A and B are shown apart, each in its own frame.
Chain A
């Protein structure tokens, strides 16, 4: 079967700087891929490319179309929550779904279901400024889920959360992923998080950025946090990351 994301020979130039070069990545349907790497290496840029938000300087990016007109091919959870301050929480969650062929009632139902999923079912009538930072981030996740995307693009979505909420949302995400068979690309700074969640961990490094190494996580699910395989893998990735940083980027 063709991959849902197929990037070949991609180059990205932003403001005169080459951010990614000669970049290849194929992601299979239903795969959970984590992307790690030093700050500024191009992780967010990679997600933007998949979402078609920035043009490429060379290469091709193919992203599978949505399976139905009431779904989006992909949805992005940005590093910051990006809620619309003039919309109440429920209306924020409906924002993306308004572009789908979906009647009002089902849109509202989807929004409410997504909100309950992130534990904010009772906060629908608030405005964003009445939420904590972590709650805002959860609304952003609900907003992405409400378009029932084939691919979830998540940019450090749990970075702003406390350890307990974070752990519970991680498990919620894995459960959702297993139930729906979505493809997930999950950017994170936290290598343990990457190894706990993903089937495959991609380490970006260098300037311009490339894939430095890929690590397949074979541990069966449900996983233990800190499962034995994880500890070894995490240490290996950390080593590689150290190298990419101390090399000043080049390979």
Chain B
């Protein structure tokens, strides 16, 4: 790399068309589809084990026109959103409370140490006992996973709030915990809390699919159904649907987040 006499690198020339990131991304994506298609075209794998991309539009169209696609999406979104909202709110609330109160932190220390390592899916038996195979069961499983993520993200955000800012608030006579919470602690920990919420968005999708594999109606259950009928093209349609839905949810979340954190450099 050549270096200008004043020690700075010369300004890079604009990337040529062939090195433009969008171009590269499209090229890579088409290559990926090409290889995928080729694998089945040239008989390396049977289309039952790996449906070629060219078969997907028809499969997709069949699902959409039969009304199943939209139905399953709405069912999944229903427990996804319910679990996400409940788990996040409870996790944030408990994280804030524990972060602000030494007493609560002490009281919950062991309880949390016992409950925390239990994976969200280990709650499936209880979810079924308590809620049977129902949307509520899926909501519960989604919520448990999201809860822990938000609890820890919030707790560490709240505990990481600059003590100097709290002293500042006190110097202006803001002595009550509630006022300090509203004026300093919550806004200061918002970036950390939102980072937790975003991790939860992804984690919740996994839980949705897992919960639905046990039979709760939704995308995962439809995939399972299609797989037992060897309709692997439909399985792929739903895999891509999930990627799309997650991308949408994440994009919407980022829009909101960027508004809330507009103050950040």
Contact = CB atoms under 8 A, between A and B. Distances in A.
Contacts of B183: 95, 98
B113 to A, nearest CB: 30
A88 B262 CA distance: 11
Grouping DSSP codes into helix (H, G, I), strand (E, B) and loop, the A interface class, with mixed when no group exceeds half, is loop
A127 B262 CA distance: 10
A51 B190 contact: no
Interface stretch (A70-78, A176-184, A222-230, A235-243): A70-78
Interface in B137-153: none
A127 B265 CA distance: 9
Contacts of A127: 263, 265
Nearest to B173: A99
A60 B59 CA distance: 82
Given A53-B167, A80-B164, A127-B263, A86 B187 contact: yes
A159 B254 CA distance: 40
A220 to B, nearest CB: 34
A86 B190 contact: yes
Grouping DSSP codes into helix (H, G, I), strand (E, B) and loop, the B interface class, with mixed when no group exceeds half, is helix
B263 A78 contact: no
A98 B164 CA distance: 19
> By CB atoms of chain A within 10 A, which of B168, B170, B172, B264 has the most?
B172
Given A78-B164, A127-B263, A84 B172 contact: no
A88 B187 CA distance: 13
Contact of A53 (B170, B188, B264, B265): B170
B153 to A, nearest CB: 18
A77 B168 CA distance: 9
Contacts of B174: 99
Contacts of A85: 263-264
B172 A99 contact: yes
B187 A84 contact: yes
Interface of B: 164-165, 167-168, 170-174, 179, 183-184, 187-188, 190, 263-265
Q: List the 9 closest A-B pairs by CB distance, nearest first.
A: A96-B172, A76-B171, A86-B263, A129-B265, A82-B168, A86-B187, A51-B171, A127-B263, A99-B173
